Amino acid sequence: MGALVEITLVDLRQTAEVREANVDLPRTGAMLEARTVDVAGWVLGATTTAIAMEVHLAGCPVSRLTLDRGRPDVAAAFRNVPGAQRAGFHGTISLVGRDPEVQLELRAVLADGRRVLVAMVRGRRLWRQSAAPPERELVSIAVACRDQSPHLADALDSVLAQTYPHVEIVLVDDGSLETGEIPEHCAGIRVVRQEGEGLAAARNTGIRQTNGDYLVFLDAGDQLLPHAIEMGVRHLQARADVAAVSAQSRPVAPDGSALPAPSRALIDGDPYAALLRRNVAGMSGTTMFRRGVFEQITGFDGSVPGCEDYELHLRVARQFSVSLHDEVIGLHRHGPDLMGCEPEGVLRSSLATVRRQRRYVRGDPHLEAAFRDGEAVRGYAEPLRERIAHSAREHDWRSAARGVVTLAAQRTGAILAVRRKIRRAPP
């Protein structure tokens, strides 16, 4: 189920500066693993000797291949041309990137410093298909749980009620003290226990302990709407270039009652930029991944507690093509008893997660602007601002002050939004 690249075109160019050239690898129609591609061939300059081949990926130089490979076939065909005996080049080029289309330019480097376009290589990123018929592809749903039995039944019932029938459900119990209540709700559900290693480790256990073509990670406090899995499978089957698809959720209180929905963030066509500005992927269970994603990257990172899913979404969107849309397919429960929901910690982890992306956005004005927006705390501070406003209205000044100190330590401008919330609130 890993990532692939299909080579759709190898186009040789004729120029006055190059006497003759050929690209042996890659070949049109080849299906390659998406991490790398072997580039090989030979080139002869016309009036000026060719000394190297420069490879550009998406317009940027990524490798310089010296012409040092013996080519007796070329020497036999061009007996009187200097350098024909060793006119060959070969190299392995990294294809890691999120653009669905791959475009390589092969430029001959001449002895006088000129670069001459010799060939264009185009490809498209795909994902290896399952051996199962499309209508029977297996979806693995990993449910992470720790002492959340009041909400766990709702989460499991929502999984069992899915309209898509081919699902595998694994419940990862991360050191619950109330383990006695869990098996009663698990007919047809496999339970895996671990010793309180944290949410990221529980989800990574879910990756290792499942077998599906697609993966969904549901927290025990959340629920999926009945069409959620069917929608995700349908979308990924229609988009062979997409590594993951994320939908939306509605917030609910611990008792299941509806909460005011936050404003939807605009997705401007670049999911990575949208995620830099705000965690538009929402709750973890509304994202479906191809299993092959986890053959290419490591799993969840436990060093950003409360933002394990957000950090993973950024990594995936940075390297692969992903899809985000506005359909609501889940219910996201908010409450202090849920794994990783403490607002102060989530704010700190959110900003730490965004700041990790700094080196990946340098030089791209569009991504740099999105990064600055993300650092400004606009989306990530919302839960903490809500808690501060609520504490102030309830005259819990100690809790409100603690939240304000956390906001001030991150971004003083975010405090103004709290003041507006308090003033707008009904008496």
Q: What is the pLDDT confidence band of residue 96, given thresholds at 50, 70 and 90?
A: confident
Please give the pLDDT value at position 286. Answer: 96
Please give the pLDDT value at position 336. Answer: 53
Please give the pLDDT value at position 390. Answer: 67
Please give the pLDDT value at position 416. Answer: 40
Q: What is the pLDDT confidence band of residue 59, given thresholds at 50, 70 and 90?
A: confident
Please give the pLDDT value at position 68. Answer: 93
Tell me the mean pLDDT in the region 161-180. Answer: 87
Q: What is the pLDDT confidence band of residue 175, given thresholds at 50, 70 and 90?
A: confident
Tell me the mean pLDDT in the region 203-214. Answer: 95
Please give the pLDDT value at position 29. Answer: 96
Residue 377 has pLDDT above 70, yes or no: no
Tell me the mean pLDDT in the region 75-83. Answer: 92
Task: Return all residues near 96 (Cβ < 8 A) that are at least 6 apart.
Answer: 34, 35, 319
Residue 6 has pLDDT above 90, yes or no: yes
Give me the percent of the chain exceeding a pLDDT of 70: 84
Tell me the mean pLDDT in the region 168-174. Answer: 94
More confident call, 47 vs 415: 47
Please give the pLDDT value at position 341. Answer: 52
Looking at 171-175, 249-253, 262-266, which range is the least confident one?
262-266
Tell me the mean pLDDT in the region 103-125. Answer: 96
The mean pLDDT of the chain is 86
Instruction: Write out pLDDT tens, residues 399-426.
Output: 767 667 666 666 544 444 444 444 555 5
Looking at 138-147, 289-298, 337-346, 355-364, which range is the least confident one?
337-346
> What phi-psi label fits residue 388: left (phi over 0), alpha (psi between -120 and 50 degrees) or beta?
alpha
> How is domain 134-341 classified at the CATH fold level?
Spore Coat Polysaccharide Biosynthesis Protein SpsA; Chain A (3.90.550)
Distance CA 324, CA 148 (A): 29
More confident call, 402 vs 240: 240
Rg, the chain, Cα only: 26
Residue 262 has pLDDT above 80, yes or no: no
Residue 61 has pLDDT above 90, yes or no: yes
Please give the pLDDT value at position 415. Answer: 41
Please give the pLDDT value at position 269. Answer: 74
Please give the pLDDT value at position 418. Answer: 43
Place of tokens 């359909």: 327
| Whether domain 3-126 has CATH 2.60.40.10 | yes
Residue 380 has pLDDT above 60, yes or no: no
Please give the pLDDT value at position 389. Answer: 74
pTM: 0.80
More confident call, 200 vs 394: 200
Please give the pLDDT value at position 406. Answer: 65
